Amino acid sequence: MGTGKYLTYNASRKKFLTKEKDLPAVNEKFHFMKGRIDVNIGTEGHALTTRGYWIIHPEKVLNPNCMGSNAGGRIVTEAFNISNSSKGQRWVILSGEGLQAFDQAIKDERKAELEEMLAHIKALAETPHTEDASGTDAALQTKLSEIEEKANQAETTTEAIATLTEEALAAGMAFLAEATPKSVEHPFDITFLMSDASLKDGEGWSTKPAISFSCGEFFEKAFDFNQTLTALPAGTYQFKGQAFQRPGNTEDVYKAFTAGQDNVNVVIYAGDEEAKIQNIAAEAQTKKLGGSETAVGSNPTRYVPNNMRAASFYFAAELYDNGVVTQLDEDDSKMKVGMRCEEVQAAYWTIFDNFRLYYYGTMSPDQVTSIRQTVADKAQLDGPFATPADVYSLSGIRVRQQATSLDGLPQGIYIVNGYKLVVR
């Protein structure tokens, strides 16, 4: 080791330590157990691939003490966890040559992160927008050019590259603070600020759902699934995600929904604002999309997802989209986004995927939701709601009986007395 000391195990303190000792005693020894999966460090073409090892104190138990590391990078002692996900317990052991390759791989990885961040910030600048303060665009371009020039210098260290990534992000947020998109339809896409928005592994969220087919689910379980974003500019935001809840048995839920009873108790939220997500019956289809699906209703028969694989097909078809609009004031720079369910009963199933976050600058929340208001108000004046009428989804499901407006319905397209109406 670089310290000139030996790694050892102190049996009386039950801790892994370093010690100046040539020959360890029996009770100071430990085992190396090779991991089952590769450790990949760096980017494609410059990656280092190796295996990690569990460092275990030998004991006649299934969960002996094992050397791990905490979030701060300090050595800790943990109970051995044999799962592949226990990355904090597996250690990479490298030769001098391997260490050089490791250093280069890390540097390449940091460069790739910087390039990705620069691409995100440039995409913001390319979004049609107006400057709220003169010189906003020029200031961003100057800063990005400066960052790229420093990154291309041969002597730039790994730590310096990481700092440049932070500077690029800060420059992007400073730009957003002084810019507003030209239209509601094309806001600034800032989904890249979120951790694992597409649900690959659940990292960065407050709690971990079951994840498969890039979908997350909670079954018969209350939850608050969220993450907090920081250093955000003041302005209006929209948080979106594909999701639905089946609040009970599929057949009972479908019958209740078509009779006008929603019963969904899951909300999608951003900051202080929240909105119910869609009922599983709201996007029932007349044709199967794939996976295990349940047939509901008749004349015609319709289908809804019955497992995660099927839900992934429905999400891929851009169904079950939800959103909520909120606003950050000048004195606030952080926002919690997520989904929450405070109470569940038997067979309650919630599944979700594809979260997105958009920024609208100085537009008011009313402007962001103005399309919905305009369509609904015009419809009420011009015909569909001149008298109470039933509201149907595009797939022919009656979602509301004898209604007088679209207020409170999830986003989507609805049919009322032959009129096609949009709720955004």
Answer yes or no: do 167 and 195 share one domain. Answer: no
| Distance, CA of 407 to chain centre | 28
DSSP secondary structure letters along 145-190: HHHHHHHTSTT--HHHHHHHHHHHHHHHHHHHTTEEES-TTS-EE-
**Who wins on pLDDT, 333 or 373?**
333
Alpha helices (runs of H) in 196-290, residue ranges in sequence order: 250-258
Residue 231, in any domain of the structure: yes
Taking Cα atoms as reference points, which of 392, 396, 397, 395 lies closest to residue 406? Answer: 392
Q: What is the CATH number of the domain that holds 155?
A: 1.20.1270
Answer yes or no: do 198 and 280 share one domain. Answer: yes
C-beta of residue 168 within 8 angstroms of C-beta of residue 118: yes
Domains identified in the chain, total number: 4
Answer yes or no: do 198 and 341 share one domain. Answer: yes
300 upstream amide cis, omega within 30 of 0 = yes
- CA 316 → CA 275, 290, 381, distances in Å? 22, 11, 36
Whether 391 has a pLDDT exceeding 90, the answer reads no
- For position 209, what pLDDT does the model report? 97
Give the domain-ending residue among 365, 390, 411.
365
pLDDT-based confidence at residue 310 (cuts at 50, 70, 90):
very high
Distance separating alpha carbons of residues 113 and 119, to the nearest angstrom: 10
Phi, psi of 294 (to 5 degrees): -110, 130
Answer yes or no: do 308 and 223 share one domain. Answer: yes
**Who wins on pLDDT, 414 or 249?**
249
Distance separating alpha carbons of residues 238 and 357, to the nearest angstrom: 6
Answer yes or no: do 352 and 409 share one domain. Answer: no
Percent of the chain with pLDDT over 70: 92
**Who wins on pLDDT, 393 or 277?**
277
- For position 118, what pLDDT does the model report? 97
Whether 368 has a pLDDT exceeding 80, the answer reads yes
Answer yes or no: do 213 and 359 share one domain. Answer: yes
Answer yes or no: do 114 and 89 share one domain. Answer: no
Residues 198-236 have pLDDT tens digits of 999 999 999 999 999 999 999 999 999 999 999 999 999
- Among 72-76, 133-137, 157-161, which stretch is predicted with the lowest mean pLDDT? 72-76
Answer yes or no: do 270 and 309 share one domain. Answer: yes
Residue 211, in any domain of the structure: yes
* Mean pLDDT computed over every residue of the chain: 88
Residue 185 burial by Cβ neighbours in a 10 Å radius (0-12, 13-18, 19+): exposed
DSSP secondary structure letters along 109-145: HHHHHHHHHHHHHHHHHHS-EEESSTTHHHHHHHHHH
C-beta of residue 69 within 8 angstroms of C-beta of residue 92: no
pLDDT-based confidence at residue 46 (cuts at 50, 70, 90):
low
- For position 127, what pLDDT does the model report? 97
Residue 403, in any domain of the structure: yes
Whether 379 has a pLDDT exceeding 50, the answer reads no
**Who wins on pLDDT, 2 or 95?**
95
Distance separating alpha carbons of residues 43 and 113, to the nearest angstrom: 10
Residue 260, in any domain of the structure: yes
Q: How many CB atoms lie within 10 A of CB 209?
A: 20
DSSP 280: G
Q: Of 3-7, 28-32, 57-61, 198-202, which one has max mean pLDDT?
A: 198-202
Residue 100, in any domain of the structure: no
Whether 73 has a pLDDT exceeding 80, the answer reads no
Structure tokens at 264: 């969904």
Answer yes or no: do 221 and 122 share one domain. Answer: no
Which domain does 397 fall in, by range? 370-423
Q: What is the CATH number of the domain that holds 316?
A: 2.60.120
Answer yes or no: do 335 and 197 share one domain. Answer: yes
Q: What is the mean pLDDT of residues 287-313?
A: 94
Answer yes or no: do 243 and 126 share one domain. Answer: no
Answer yes or no: do 302 and 178 share one domain. Answer: no
Q: pTM for the whole thing? A: 0.77
Distance separating alpha carbons of residues 248 and 306, to the nearest angstrom: 12
Phi, psi of 203 (to 5 degrees): -65, 140
Residue 355, in any domain of the structure: yes
